Structure 1
Amino acid sequence: MSRFGLPGQMSFDFGSPLGPSGPMMPSGQTQPLNFFFALMPHQAAAYGIRQITDRLRAEMHLPGSPRPIELFHVSLSGIEANERPLGALIAAARRAGDMVDSVSFPVSLDSVMSFVVRGQHVLVLACGEDLPKIAALHRKIDLSLKMAGLTPGRPAGATPHVTTLYGGEPVPRIGLDQPIRWTARDFVLVQSFVGKSHYVIQGRWPLRRAA
């Protein structure tokens, strides 16, 4: 695996294989929506992600549209489309979030790669050593969704990651000499307006401090 260094980059410490399941149209809505649970990087980590993305774009002459920094996230669990009204859907998803009991853990983005999503290449920063902890939180959220009467989204089968650029070129997996790190101290429920690059956080739940 190639290596990619970022001179002067800080190490950040702050307090999926899965992704959104695809657009849904809750009862009475005309705007396609996605709902999913996610980890979101703290501000300094998000700026580190953007810094790496900008350097790669410049050095590898990558085309495409960078994602807004406020949309950076690691997907945990999606929610399948259904016919219930929007308010009832959000209420059920919040009940699911209330049932999750898990501890905080470090997140590390240690490599860059590209995936093909709906026929276009996307650039991502991928998680490495923390995969078991992310997978454990995903399983707890999926169980809580079922207990709340919702259907968890289908597994995407990809490494947990932060998507940073759409419409670029294929990029081989590149290891980061200095990974981006933060501590996941909460997780969120995201309402995504499909095609609008706009998120609304519909719930936030703290993760307990590890013993």
Structure 2
Amino acid sequence: MALLRAGRRFDLGVVGPYDKFFFAILAEGEARRAAWALASEEQLRLGRPDYRTPERCLHISLVMIAFGFSVWEPLLVRAAEAADRIRMRNFRISLNRIESFRGAPRPRVLTGDEGVIGLDLLHAQLCAVLAAADFDVKRIANFNAHLTLMRDRRETPLQHVDPITWDAGEFVLVHSHHGQGRYTILERWPLASRG
């Protein structure tokens, strides 16, 4: 069993009604720059989108914990204590497709083939430990790991791109400040090295 961090607290500051709290993997280093460059190419090709994810906020969501005013610190502490129980090695992520998902406006996202297996496994583990901690988390059988580049009214047909690849060495608990283009990382969990 993991050692829980005694006295864990989160300084949430002001929480807006549309803020989100979720576990995620952040795009890092060269992969983040490559995803941003691809978004720039898409913008030149298709025109200005309704919304473009700021480079510093490029991520892959794993599990949503709470929205807006429904969040309170003990809930996040309980989620973090559940996440302490994750035991997983670091893994490689490879995203090689760009496509549109449903929505209004439509998310234009990067997805992958076998390059997202580690994300699927981490998502399943997070759902399991959160369910064991009495969270009402339903593991979505068709979890589709993706990185949102932008949102736009136009649909983009699926196209293959040069793979954007990085090693996921940690996952994080994020406070997304709605409409501000910024995230606060509340906590980080390293994934064990394969070394």
Structure 2 residues not aligned, in runs of 5+: 1-13
Q: RMSD of aligned C-alpha atoms?
A: 2.6
SS at match of 2:114: coil
Determine the structure 1 residue equivalent to 2:185: 201
Is this contact kept in 2: 1:90–1:202, CA < 8 A?
no
Q: How many residues align?
A: 183
Of 72, 80, 90, which residue of structure 2 is paired with 1:94? 80
Q: How does 1:1-211 map to 2 (within 5 A)?
A: 31-79=17-65, 86-117=72-103, 119-152=104-137, 155=140, 157=142, 159-176=144-161, 178-210=162-194
CA contact (8 A) 1:92 1:149 kept: no
User: How many Å separate the matches in 2 of 1:73 and 1:194?
Assistant: 15
Q: CA deviation at 1:29?
A: 5.9
Quote the sequence identity (%): 26
> Partner of 2:102: helix, strand, or coil?
strand
The two structures have a TM-score, normalised by structure 2, of 0.82
The secondary structure found in structure 2 opposite 1:179 is strand
Q: How does the TM-score come out when normalised to structure 1?
A: 0.77
Work out whether residues 115 and 124 of structure 1, in 8 Å CA contact, stay in contact via their aligned partners in 2.
yes
Unaligned runs of 5+ in 1: 1-27
- Call closer, same or farther: CA 1:155–1:101 in 2, change over 3 Å: same
Q: 1:195 to 1:50 in 2, by over 3 A?
A: same
Higher relative contact order, chain-length normalized (CA < 8 Å, sep 6+): 1
SS in 1 for 2:193: coil
Deviates more, 1:79-88 or 1:136-145: 79-88
Q: Which amino acid aligns with 2:144?
A: T
